[in-house]
Amino acid sequence: MNLADASSKKAVRTTPLHTADTRLHGRWLVLAWAAWALLSSGTLLAFAFGLSVYLTHLQMVCTGTVG
């Protein structure tokens, strides 16, 4: 093997060394999806209940004096 052959055969890497594989598979994907669904539905429920309480509070008439 001569120098020309050695320099023309470079290793080709499809992903850089500093890039980590961040895709979830299997059980971890299901767990992440379930956590996301639980947190987002909890947030929406808290907003819905808070909005109804806030609207009720806005309809109350002030009867006291400001002082």
For residue 1, pLDDT over 60 is answered with no
What's the pLDDT score for residue 66?
A: 73
CA atoms within 13 A on the CB side of 46: 6
Q: What percent of the chain has pLDDT over 70?
A: 67
Q: Which of 42, 40, 38 is nearest to 30 (CA)?
A: 38
Report pTM: 0.51
Instruction: Provide the pLDDT confidence category of residue 7 given band limits of 50, 70 and 90.
Output: low
Instruction: Provide the pLDDT confidence category of residue 61 given band limits of 50, 70 and 90.
Output: confident
Residue 66 backbone dihedrals phi, psi, to 5 degrees: -90, 130
The pLDDT mean for the chain works out to 81
C-alpha 25/C-alpha 47 separation (Å) is 32
